[in-house]
Amino acid sequence: MKNIYVLACLYLGSLLFVACNNDSATTSTSADKKQPKAIKVVNESPKKEGLKVGDIAPDFKLKNINGKIVSLADYTDAKGYIVTFTCNHCPYAVMYEDRLNALQAKYAPMGYPIVAINPNDPEVKPADSFENMQIRAKEKGFEFAYLIDEGQKVYPQYGATKTPHVFLLNKDRMVKYIGAIDDNAQDAEAVEVKFVENAIASLEKGENPDPNYTKAIGCSIKSKK
């Protein structure tokens, strides 16, 4: 009987491990519909690889969906940059597509364009191929640059771990905010805190964002490694 109990526990543990590593966003119960809020950490980035608040972000040269090569230096009039690692397939990234469009419409004219980067390896996740990026951008009417991180060289430099994952930079490419777009991925109408918008408002006042770091909620970046 003891052996049966141990085997049952091991089986249950394996099921939980698989569920926790599944990218699919479930919405079958009322509890599922409530998106866990991003963790607020005031003026403190965690110790990790990649950038932290206060660092100077590296520029890059990546291919846009129109075939042109884009870098941050191309935005000569920018007051800052909303660098957003996102993709096609991730349910969380999909939930934020309309909000990214809205951020671009509101803040690009103010000098804060969205620069979206797909960090996923298309050989691992074919839905995130360059051709599918072009299709998705057309379907959603993206007005911002949607770049592919070919060779996956940029996202590790930034330290992106999720899609979506935002790095808000000032005009000098200094990192001012890292994390989530807002505090509710699954329901835009239930958002209570708009982290990116609040951070930009602080920059416009000459102040540092508070919080300047939140936990990004989304899918893991897909790589062969």
Please report the sign of the dihedral spanned by the C-alpha atoms of residue 38, residue 212, residue 219, residue 85.
positive
Helix then strand count (H, E) for the chain reads 7, 11
Asked whether residue 19 is domain-assigned, the answer is yes
**How far apart are the two ends of the chain, measured CA to CA in Å?**
41
- Provide the residue range defining the domain that includes 25: 2-220
Q: Contact at 8 Å (CB) between 142 and 61?
A: no
The residue ranking higher by pLDDT, 21 or 63, is 63
Neighbours of 195 (CB within 10 A): 24
Element (H, E) at 93: helix 91-95
Across the range 74-81, mean pLDDT stands at: 98
Asked whether residue 88 is domain-assigned, the answer is yes
Which of 6-20, 41-55, 111-125 ranks highest by mean pLDDT? 111-125
Element (H, E) at 223: none
Percent of the chain with pLDDT over 90: 78
Whichever domain contains 47, its CATH number is: 3.40.30.10
Asked whether residue 149 is domain-assigned, the answer is yes
Give residue-wise pLDDT tens across range 66-76. 999 999 999 99
- Residue 5 has a pLDDT of 39
Give residue-wise pLDDT tens across range 35-54. 444 444 444 445 568 999 99
Helix spans in the chain (H)? 2-20, 30-33, 91-95, 97-107, 130-140, 154-158, 195-204
Distance between CA atoms of residues 2 and 167, nearest Å: 51
Give residue-wise pLDDT tens across range 162-208. 999 999 999 999 999 999 999 999 999 999 999 999 999 999 999 99
Distance between CA atoms of residues 181 and 82, nearest Å: 10
Asked whether residue 225 is domain-assigned, the answer is no
User: C-alpha dihedral over 140, 104, 173, 162, to 10 degrees?
Assistant: -40
Q: Angle CA(99)–CA(214)–CA(57) in degrees, nearest 5?
A: 85
Is residue 100 pLDDT above 50, yes or no? Answer: yes
Distance between CA atoms of residues 109 and 94, nearest Å: 24
Residue 109, Cβ density class (10 Å: 0-12 exposed, 13-18 middle, ≥19 buried): exposed
Q: Count the domains in the chain.
A: 1
Asked whether residue 54 is domain-assigned, the answer is yes
Distance between CA atoms of residues 2 and 135, nearest Å: 56
The residue ranking higher by pLDDT, 95 or 2, is 95
For the entire predicted model, the pTM comes to 0.82
